[in-house]
Amino acid sequence: MKSWKIGAVAGLIAGIMTGIATFVDGLIKLSIPIFGLYYMGLETLTTSVIRRIAYTEIVLGIIWWAVAGLIYVRIYDLIPGKGILKGLVYSLGLYLIYGVRWASYELFYGSIPTTILFLILFYIFILSGLAFGASYEYFSNKYSVTKYKSKMYKDGFLKGIYPGAFAGLVFGLVAFSIVFLIYNQLLYPSLIPDIGFLVGQLGTHLFFNMVWCALFGMLFVRFYERIPSNGVLKGLIFSMVIYFFTTFRFGIHALAYGQIIWFIGPMLTIFGFIAFGIVLGYLYKPTK
């Protein structure tokens, strides 16, 4: 069996585990009023609602982890740990850029319940990571898969902080423009004339994206040799992968539950990720 197939199969198993865990998690949250808002319109636990949550979480879980499994195969040796623990580290990395990132964003806007909701996804990523790591190691050992071996690389991942942070400021400007032109009109119309509010909102988006994109910059350097293409295009491909596992994932999940406004915003944020990827790919110059 080829390595990419093993990654996909392990991802399938982890995706099913994720789907079951998030399904149970969703039923629990629906019983808690402050968390039930996340599933707007599904507050009454009828048979059809339970079925919809189960189908949604399992299908989306399989999609995310199948793609994650394919990427895992390509960067296997660059992930810390050994055996099953390597899969766990990988899963917790996905939790960091998805769960913790979204929790910090919600915290900036003062939404404590949603912040908690994203943070407590921690245990789901642990279960999924263990299932993925165990499955991948089992199949790779059974079929004697040859894994990638990293080349000697001169740059430490810290070299990605500055280009990532600067690209993040550009990302922040694009994100604020989207929020100002669309979201404020829908959610905060009375605050649009408030210059103080707008300046604070701009500062939030600049700071938020600068910090997280500095982290993304470090990941870019860490996995640089495994990203296809060169220069700007390499940065763009990397940014699209991050977009897929973070904002796009959130938007598709929202759409599955009929929350259109929370789907439109993440889709438009792709322009911020495009700008980030282009600037990052342009600024970072690997040591020869």
CA proximity to 209, closest of 164, 162, 158: 164
pTM (two decimals): 0.90
For the chain, what are the domain ranges?
3-142, 157-283
pLDDT at 39: 57
Question: Which is more confident, 199 or 227?
Answer: 227
Estimate the crossing angle of helix 112-119 against helix 101-108, to 10 degrees: 170
Sign of the dihedral defined by the CA atoms of residues 177, 178, 183, 185, in that order? positive
CA proximity to 16, closest of 51, 47, 49, 61: 61
d(CA 87, CA 228): 23
pLDDT at 75: 93
CA proximity to 179, closest of 266, 107, 244: 266
d(CA 17, CA 205): 34
127, amino acid identity? L
Question: Which is more confident, 96 or 201?
Answer: 96
Query: Is there a contact between 77 and 149 (Cβ–Cβ < 8 Å)?
Result: yes
Residue with tokens 């390597």: 86
Percentage of the residues of the chain whose pLDDT score is greater than 90: 55
The phi and psi torsions of 149 (rounded to 5 degrees) equal -125, 130
- Residue 234 banded pLDDT, cuts 50, 70, 90: very high
